[in-house]
Chain A
């Protein structure tokens, strides 16, 4: 069969070539028309059955991380079109077989040419008005190079069409990641639910417009960084407007973006969105503006990098390479009330605490983690930024402690108080504290814990850019 098909195709090609030759006559530039080999451009992923997917059809996330592989199947009693849909039963968080369900569909061949499409589309409905945590494509569990995803997709109890725009289809010449989903019960307070997906395919809609890529959450940020250090550009999104006038924003990998650096003497950006500070600059100009575009459309947001020359040991920052830590919240039971930890706030990683009475950042090797303590002997200052997310009173305070040889018999600590008068409500305030100001800190060769005590005078506090440094 296969051979016959190929023969027929060959005949057709031969005929068309003959026709072309006849039409083009003495045209001799045929070599310009030679096109590169392309991969199949099959659009369908699931109609009433999977189309061109691997034998597994559904490849689950790792059950070792809580993925439940039981809830995936097809349903002959529900379909938007035809006879059959995909049925996904979302487990409860306490399900012994795994508390969420998710995975990918992968092309069974070498990949598909998706350059002719502008969106992944499908119809879905839920047993209740829940939200699917993540839906997307471009993840093949190998490279995940061109991954695109949308978060918290709202289900209706009627069939509804969903559109996930492709930021730059020209990149997808050979894509194996056809579909990805991940669903838990965050939107239903732990109650399991079912949703169905049908008519899953790539489409050329032509009705998507107003492309608006963004980096760093669309913010103009600045960063200081030492020569030979690197920092990733995060918060990469792409917004398009659908034919019904709705904006859809997806997260996209850096490979969809073309990055540029205004000053090559200071910084360069790799295609995976990592900025490297290459040098101190020339003629006194030590800054470079990092910008990006997607398919020729400029992205909002930018990073102004300032090359610096300071010795840094960074605990938490987007600017410097961070040393490993045990945690950003030690959760000391039973007296600690503080909740929270590291979060991504609009493309900026920060630490966010609520119900603060006291909280520790630990980096001493808790429970045999192997995290080494920090030798800050050569460092002179601690840089830290606070934002109080509530009203600040003059009587409020943050008592900071640095612990050397934490949990060991020879442990010591140094303390430093920040007064409410030095803080601001809902505004970032930077502090550069000489380590010599930490009263009692007679050694700092094995710092393992940093404590923040407010005794409830400040309950909602954000932290950022925590690092020890010495000016060279």
Chain B
């Protein structure tokens, strides 16, 4: 409860200061107040991995989640995440995450999930990655952010700076279910709007597919998150859109890139799913406001 209050008061402060900014902006553009909007340019490169050095991902930037988490990372996922080169490697100028069908530590599949937790965390900015996704029922690739104040496991009274999911906030820049090769979605999860109730929107490719290269990104600023595919802005989520507290003005988030197999999002693989499956990431780039 304490955390929630804190968040609220913080939000309130931010909302107040934003109001001031908006008022000033409105005055400045008073000739046409209906078209006032915050335009922030995120041109200041703060993090970049072009995946040009062969081998394991750069350990100054990326760490790993290993294993199966709690109940398949909370989603009934079937894979065991490893840091083996079979599952995650940089080669040919790409990060390659490979889902393999094999018996491994009691799981039927292996794959990988890398994250920048403790290595790169940022509040606001443009986060983008150029990716080619895998294919087939049961594939669940994702490029997403989690609030860096996340408390893994139960709440820890000795560490009031941390909160459990979904209070920490989650921004899904891109998720795809492998049975739908032309559809991706972007979402936010927070208190009162998580899991199946996340605030989400799909984007459908008209003349292309997810197993071709595309750029997935967000532009995230105070009280808004804009969702992009390539050069198309397909959604904006603001505090009015979420059915709970806005938890995206509270601090920095870290990046996660993973390829899950099975679970709630696209169901489990079927007989037609081809293994191994590969997710390619050409680059990850993050910018802050000028």
A residues whose Cβ falls under 8 Å from a Cβ of B: 204-210, 241, 243-245, 247
A207/B208 in contact, CB under 8 A: yes
- Taking the closest CB of chain B, its distance from the CB of A101, in whole angstroms, is 33
Q: Does B117 contact A (CB under 8 A)?
A: no
Instruction: Specify which of A205, A210, A244, A247 is in contact with B207 (CB 8 Å cutoff).
Output: A205
Q: A90 to chain B: closest CB distance in Å?
A: 30
Chain B interfacial positions (CB closer than 8 Å to A): 135, 137, 178-182, 205-209, 211-212, 272
How far does the Cβ of B177 sit from chain A's closest Cβ, in whole Å?
A: 9
Question: Could you tell me the distance in whole angstroms from the C-beta of B239 to the nearest C-beta in chain A?
Answer: 35
Whether A243 contacts B272 by the Cβ 8 Å rule is no
Bound-complex Cα distance A204 to B208 (A): 11
Nearest chain A residue, comparing its CB with the CB of B272:
A247
CA distance A206 to B135 in the complex (A): 16
B206 near A206: Cβ-Cβ < 8 Å: yes
| Inter-subunit contact A206/B272 (CB<8 Å) | no
CB distance from A241 to the nearest CB of B (A): 6
How far does the Cβ of A203 sit from chain B's closest Cβ, in whole Å? 10
Q: Given the interface contacts A243-B182, A245-B181, does A210 sit within 8 Å of B211 by beta carbon?
A: yes
A209 contacts across to B, CB distance below 8 A: 135, 181, 209, 211-212
List A contacts of B181 (CB < 8 A): 207, 209-210, 241, 243, 245
* CB of B141, distance to nearest CB on chain A (Å): 15
Q: Taking A243-B181, A245-B180 as contacts, is the C-beta distance between A207 and B135 under 8 angstroms?
A: no
User: A209 vs B176: C-alpha distance in the bound complex, in angstroms?
Assistant: 16
Contact present for A206 and B211 (CB under 8 Å)? no
Complex CA distance for A209 and B214, rounded to whole angstroms = 14
A245, B211: Cβ atoms closer than 8 Å: no
Provide a sorted-by-A list of 23 A–B residue pairs whose CB atoms are within 8 angstroms. A205-B207, A206-B208, A206-B209, A207-B182, A207-B205, A207-B206, A207-B209, A208-B209, A209-B135, A209-B181, A209-B209, A209-B212, A210-B135, A210-B181, A210-B211, A241-B181, A243-B209, A244-B180, A245-B178, A245-B179, A245-B180, A245-B181, A247-B272
Q: How far is the CB of A215 from chain B (nearest CB, A)?
A: 18
Please indicate the chain A residues that have their CB under 8 angstroms from the CB of B135 in the complex: 209-210, 241
Report, nearest first, the 10 A-B pairs whose CB atoms are least far apart. A206-B207, A243-B182, A209-B209, A245-B179, A209-B211, A207-B182, A210-B135, A206-B208, A245-B181, A245-B180
Q: How far is the CB of A121 from chain B (nearest CB, A)?
A: 14
* A207–B272 CB distance below 8 A: no
State the CA gap A438–B270 with chains docked (Å). 52
Min CB–CB distance B271 → chain A (angstroms): 11
In the bound complex, residues from chain A placing their C-beta under 8 Å from that of B206 are: 206-207
Measured between alpha carbons, how far is A243 from B180 in the docked complex, in Å?
A: 7
B residues less than 8 Å from A207 (CB atoms):
181-182, 205-209
Q: Among B180, B207, B209, find the residue whose CB has the most chain A CB atoms closer than 10 A.
A: B209
A204 to B211, CA, bound (A): 17
Q: A209 CA to B137 CA in the complex, in Å?
A: 14
Query: With the chains together, A241 CA to B179 CA distance in Å?
Result: 10
Q: B137: which A residues are within 8 A, CB to CB?
A: 245
Residues of B within 8 A of A205 (CB): 207
The distance in angstroms between the C-alpha atoms of A243 and B211, with both chains bound, is 11
Task: Chain B residues near A204: list those with CB within 8 A.
Answer: 207
Which residues on B sit within 8 Å (CB–CB) of A247? 272
CA of A204 to CA of B206, assembled, Å? 11
Instruction: Determine the distance from Cα of A241 to Cα of B178 in the docked complex, in whole angstroms.
Output: 11
Q: CA A208 – CA B209 in complex, angstroms?
A: 8
- Measured in the bound complex, the distance between the Cα atoms of B182 and A419 in whole Å is 57
**Bound-state Cα–Cα, A243 to B205, Å:** 9
Chain B residues with Cβ below 8 Å from A241 are 135, 181
CB distance from A146 to the nearest CB of B (A): 24
Q: How far is the CB of B260 from chain A (nearest CB, A)?
A: 17
Residues of the A chain whose Cβ atoms lie less than 8 Å from the Cβ of B207: 204-207
Q: Which residue in chain B gives the minimum CB-CB distance to A241?
A: B181
Query: Measured between C-beta atoms, what is the minimum distance from A439 to chain B in Å?
Result: 50
Complex alpha-carbon distance, A245 and B180, angstroms: 5
A246–chain B nearest beta-carbon distance, Å: 9
| A208–B205 alpha-carbon span in the complex (Å) | 12
A243 and B207 CA atoms in complex are apart in Å by: 9
Min CB–CB distance B225 → chain A (angstroms): 27
Q: Which residue of B lies closest to A212 (CB)?
A: B274
Q: Which residues of B contact A208 (CB under 8 A)?
A: 209
Docked complex Cα distance between A241 and B207 (Å): 14
Name which residue of chain A comes closest to B177, CB basis: A245
* C-alpha spacing A141/B207, complex, angstroms: 33
Shortest distance from the beta carbon of B16 to any chain A beta carbon, whole Å: 47
Give A206's nearest chain B residue, CB to CB.
B207
Smallest Cβ-Cβ distance to A204: which chain B residue: B207
CA of A209 to CA of B272, assembled, Å: 15
Bound Cα distance A247, B270 (Å): 13
Q: For the complex, give the distance between the alpha carbons of A230 and B197 in Å.
A: 64
Query: 15 additional contacts, CB 8 Å, given A207-B207, A210-B181?
Result: A204-B207, A206-B205, A206-B207, A206-B209, A207-B208, A208-B209, A209-B209, A210-B211, A243-B181, A243-B182, A243-B205, A244-B182, A245-B137, A245-B179, A247-B272
Minimum C-beta distance from B135 to chain A (A): 5
The minimal Cβ–Cβ distance linking A163 to chain B, given in whole angstroms, is 13
Q: Which residues of A contact B208 (CB under 8 A)?
A: 206-207
Contacting residues, chain B, for A245 (C-beta < 8 A): 137, 178-181
Residues of A within 8 A of B209 (CB): 206-209, 243
The winner among B178, B181, B205, B211 for most chain A CB atoms within 10 A is B181
* Bound CA span A206–B207, Å: 4
Of A206, A208, A210, A245, most B-chain CB atoms within 10 Å: A245
Q: Which residue of B lies closest to A205 (CB)?
A: B207
Q: CA A205 – CA B208 in complex, angstroms?
A: 8
Most chain B beta-carbon contacts within 10 A, residue among A208, A209, A244, A247: A209
For B272, the chain A residues whose CB sits under 8 A away are 247
